[in-house]
Amino acid sequence: MQLRRKRFDRPDEVRTVEKGRIELVELGELAVGRAIFEPGWRWSEHVKPIVGTDSCQVHH
């Protein structure tokens, strides 16, 4: 196993939605994320219309 160091100030990918952003760093086959949401953000209002599911389908 190889040791890796990643930082969220230089994410590999950034996904933005209204009132929020998700920063991802990749560690081999694993992605680790940090989500930052503004006051008033709601899954049902800001993400559900995009993905079409009632809740997040990503394993947490």
pLDDT digits (tens, 9 = 90+) for 16-52: 999 999 999 999 888 999 999 999 999 999 999 989 9
- Model's pTM, two decimal places? 0.76
Q: What confidence score (pLDDT) does residue 41 get?
A: 96
Q: Is 33 exposed, middle or buried (0-12, 13-18, 19+ CB in 10 A)?
A: middle
Q: What confidence score (pLDDT) does residue 37 get?
A: 96
Q: What confidence score (pLDDT) does residue 28 get?
A: 86
Q: Is the confidence at residue 1, as pLDDT, over 70?
A: no
Give the DSSP letter of residue 28.
T
